[in-house]
Structure 1
Amino acid sequence: MPLRAHPPPQNADALEAVPDLLDVKGQAKAKRALEIAAAEGHHLLMMGTPGSGKAMLAKRMPGLLPLLGREEALARELYVQPSPQALKTELYRLRQAGFHVASRPYRLTTPIEADLLRLQQALKEGRLEEALALYQGPLLPRSQAPGIERLRHQLEEQLKEAVLQQPSPEALYLLAQRIPEDLILWEALLRRLPPDDPRRPGVLAWVRRLSAGYC
């Protein structure tokens, strides 16, 4: 069922009558879905057996809406400690530099070219060789912005899933070099390299080194 925004309560008594999401025990994924839907203006379809909590969770959606403004939602993606004022400053700088930034929700409407966008498109279309050529290592590895960390992890997982499905070790070898601390990639590469491959001794040594770190 689609969940829509409702006007916030007009007085303290009405506010107290709105069910609070903090009262819900468990349901971590469902609560996170409610927060995302409230922050970004999405519809939300809940499915489940009778008594699983769909109606109980839906009643708590209005209580989220006054607390999750657009700026705060984006600020949480950019800053470890959410800072709407810092976000406004960054948006102002972008606009001053000639970029068009639309509001509600904030989004960049100026056409841009970026390796990240080309990489995502190549992955979407199954062009793995091109995606690997574009991927030069973890996305902005020094950034601690929650949204960047999430995207960084997502890209790595998508690439890993794609190369692990390939029978040839070449794509796996290339990605393992880009993500050198990933033991799963190196172990898979070791299994796929022929016994007489000259790279095998080096890969074996690296797997042992990584494995020792897990002990």
Structure 2
Amino acid sequence: PGAHRVALAAYRGQVLPDSVAPGVEEFRDTVRAALREALLAEASVDVLLAYAETADGADDEEVLRLALGMLPPRSPRRAGLVARLERMDR
């Protein structure tokens, strides 16, 4: 599997999500941002869609729009993405 797929599979969500310790908050944000930026830069549409199913990616409009743009025009997955984006715009 590709590096992005492996990274996403290894990502179990936010690091210590209930912690408000400054070092932990900064590390959590850094990990989340690094994964997101790597996926936006080079990931396949399948990996982007998998990320969009995580808690961090579920409401990420940029990820959804990028995935939509990568799907073939007749892909059956387009309708679900369009519906999600339309719900976000409301």
Moved more, 155-164 or 136-145: 136-145
Give aligned pairs, total: 87
Q: In the superposition, relative to structure 1, how do residues 143 and 182 fare at CA in structure 2: closer, same or farther (>3 Å)?
A: farther
Asked if 1:191 corresponds to 2:69, the answer is yes
Greater CA radius of gyration, 1 or 2?
A: 1
* Aligned twin of 2:23: 147
Aligned partner letter, 1:170: D
Unpaired segments ≥5 residues, structure 2: none
Asked if 1:128 corresponds to 2:9, the answer is no
Q: In the superposition, relative to structure 1, how do residues 138 and 198 fare at CA in structure 2: closer, same or farther (>3 Å)?
A: farther
Identity %: 37
* Aligned twin of 1:180: 58
Q: Is the 8 A contact 2:4 2:43 kept in 1?
A: no
Equivalent positions of 1:54-93 (< 5 A) are none
* Aligned twin of 2:39: 163
Aligned partner letter, 2:79: P
Q: Deviations over 1:104-148 (max 9, x none)?
A: xxxxxxxxxxxxxxxxxxxxxx93222111113233333333322
User: 1:183: how far off?
Assistant: 1.5
Distance 1:155 1:149 in 2: 10
Aligned partner letter, 2:67: L
User: 1:167: how far off?
Assistant: 6.0
Distance 1:147 1:210 in 2: 32
Which TM-score applies when normalising by structure 2?
0.77
Q: Is the 8 A contact 2:45 2:71 kept in 1?
A: yes
User: 1:169: how far off?
Assistant: 0.6
Aligned partner letter, 1:157: A
Q: In the superposition, relative to structure 1, how do residues 162 and 143 fare at CA in structure 2: closer, same or farther (>3 Å)?
A: same
Q: Secondary structure at the match of 1:206?
A: helix
Q: Secondary structure at the match of 1:196?
A: coil
User: 1:174: how far off?
Assistant: 1.3
Give structure 1 regions of 4+ aligned residues with deviation exceeding 4 angstroms. none
Bigger fraction of residues in helix: 2
Asked if 1:207 corresponds to 2:90, the answer is no
Greater relative CO (CA pairs within 8 A, separation 6+) = 2
Unpaired segments ≥5 residues, structure 1: 1-125
Q: Secondary structure at the match of 1:142?
A: coil
Q: Is the 8 A contact 1:193 1:200 kept in 2?
A: yes
